[in-house]
Homo-oligomer: A and B are copies of this chain.
């Protein structure tokens, strides 16, 4: 998984029907890269989130045939980094 900061939202009226009702947010990853995640946890702009990518992302969906490849699986309360 990767840690990302939610920095905004993205809208697409013209999209695959199976995506209707899903919320798409922009997350900035630790290496600066920006990706789009499907938010399942109720994250908001500014939240630090835990993101799963690839086929694992569809495991949170009841219907695994929805074409997404990145999802928020948790809102991070804190992390501790020791040397």
Contacts and interface: CB of A to CB of B under 8 A. Distances in A.
Interface of A: 1-3, 7-16, 18-19, 24, 26, 30-31, 33-38, 40-42, 45-46, 50, 52-60, 65-71, 73-83
What are the 5 A-B residue pairs with the smallest beta carbon separation, nearest first?
A12-B74, A15-B74, A8-B81, A59-B67, A1-B36
A64 B52 CA distance: 14
Copies in the complex: 5
A58 B52 CA distance: 12
Contact of A54 (B16, B41, B55, B60): B55
29 contacts: A1-B35, A1-B36, A1-B38, A1-B68, A1-B69, A1-B70, A2-B35, A7-B81, A7-B83, A8-B81, A9-B80, A10-B76, A10-B78, A12-B73, A13-B75, A15-B41, A15-B50, A15-B73, A15-B74, A18-B60, A26-B81, A45-B82, A52-B69, A55-B56, A56-B57, A56-B58, A59-B65, A59-B66, A68-B73
